[in-house]
């Protein structure tokens, strides 16, 4: 079994950027990922990625992939990583299809949004239903929208949307909003915000695009006319395979400024880390840092 210099887990913005830097450093490496593009491929219109005044998520993900493939990168697409474990100086990576060995690993497996699990959610994903107000909020200028959730991520999304949308409904399934007090106060003072506590979404409705949502408040059901639905009930890090590295309370992998985890040789980049902001451009930057840190790590080691 060959021993790689590096295995990169994930092919979103962080993993792909790491692969480009690893290729330029002439490392012998492998990329393993279920898919290519990560959350970037699911985004709608992107207007905040430097160098592109406007580009769609799928278009940007394709450009990332083209850049990666330019270096004839060894890629195992469609493989799910089941376990990452260090044994001596070698790191073992087990997938649903094969076992691999490497001197270092970059975990760039990202996060996935928690889903509502209601009728219409899958059908209207990216057709009015989205999981990122920062990415997609401007698309709903002057429209009526609903933000689903009651924590800080939902409040942040709602605050962004108060400056963009005509009407913002906050659908919160608890007695009152959570999150920071100052954020709650700003929303309560906003003239275009309606807070619906003790409420939950039953279904998302529409034709080609979202036109309304059905909610249940206490024992009563009603339909709200909205053109946008922002699901902000949290994110789940993809870390089931990384049992040994240290994580924070959100189950994100802790890293230092060099993208090192608690285990030497295992580096981490992108949304799966405890870096506070989750943006495509930040994930890409962290991917480059992680690859450079791997290069310096390998340069100092004797295997």
* For the chain, domain boundaries: 3-113+235-300, 129-231
- Per-residue pLDDT band for 53 (boundaries 50, 70, 90) equals confident
CATH number of the domain located at residue range(s) 3-113+235-300 in this protein = 3.50.50.60
- Per-residue pLDDT band for 146 (boundaries 50, 70, 90) equals very high
Mean pLDDT on 86-101: 97
239 C-beta neighbours (distance < 10 Å), count = 19
- Percent of the chain residues topping a pLDDT of 70: 99
- Per-residue pLDDT band for 153 (boundaries 50, 70, 90) equals confident
Residue 193 tokens, joined: 């915000």
The fold of the 129-231 domain, in CATH, is: FAD/NAD(P)-binding domain (3.50.50)
Strand-pairing partners, residue 145, are: 168, 228
Domains 3-113+235-300 and 129-231 share a fold: yes
Longest alpha-carbon distance in the chain: 68
């Amino acid at each position: 079994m060959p021993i790689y210099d590096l295995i990169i887990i994930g092919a979103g913005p962080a993993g792909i950027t790491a692969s480009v830097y690893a290729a330029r450093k002439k490392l012998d490496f492998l990329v393993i990922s279920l898919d290519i593009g990560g959350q970037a491929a699911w985004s709608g219109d992107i207007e905040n990625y430097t160098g592109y005044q406007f580009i769609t998520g799928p278009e940007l993900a394709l450009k990332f992939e083209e850049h990666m493939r330019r270096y004839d990168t060894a890629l195992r697409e469609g493989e799910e990583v089941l376990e990452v474990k260090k044994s001596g100086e070698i790191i073992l990576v087990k997938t649903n299809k094969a076992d691999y060995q490497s001197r270092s690993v970059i975990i760039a497996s990202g996060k996935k949004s928690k889903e509502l699990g209601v009728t219409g959610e899958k059908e209207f994903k990216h057709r009015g239903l989205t999981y990122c107000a920062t990415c997609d909020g401007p698309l709903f200028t002057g429209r009526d929208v609903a933000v689903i959730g009651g924590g800080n991520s939902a409040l942040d999304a709602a605050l962004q949307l108060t400056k963009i949308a005509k009407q913002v409904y906050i659908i919160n399934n608890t007695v009152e909003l959570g999150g920071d007090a100052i954020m709650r106060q700003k929303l309560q003072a906003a003239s275009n915000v309606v807070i619906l506590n003790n409420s939950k979404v039953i279904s998302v409705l529409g034709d080609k695009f979202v036109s309304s949502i059905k909610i249940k408040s206490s024992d009563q059901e009603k339909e709200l006319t909205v053109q946008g639905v922002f699901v902000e009930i949290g994110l789940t890090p993809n870390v089931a395979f990384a049992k040994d590295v240290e994580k924070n309370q959100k189950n994100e992998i802790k890293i230092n400024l060099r993208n090192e985890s608690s285990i030497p040789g295992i580096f981490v980049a992108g949304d799966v880390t405890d870096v506070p902001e989750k943006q495509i451009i930040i994930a890409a930057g962290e991917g480059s840092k992680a690859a450079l840190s791997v290069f310096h790590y390998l340069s100092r080691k004797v295997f």
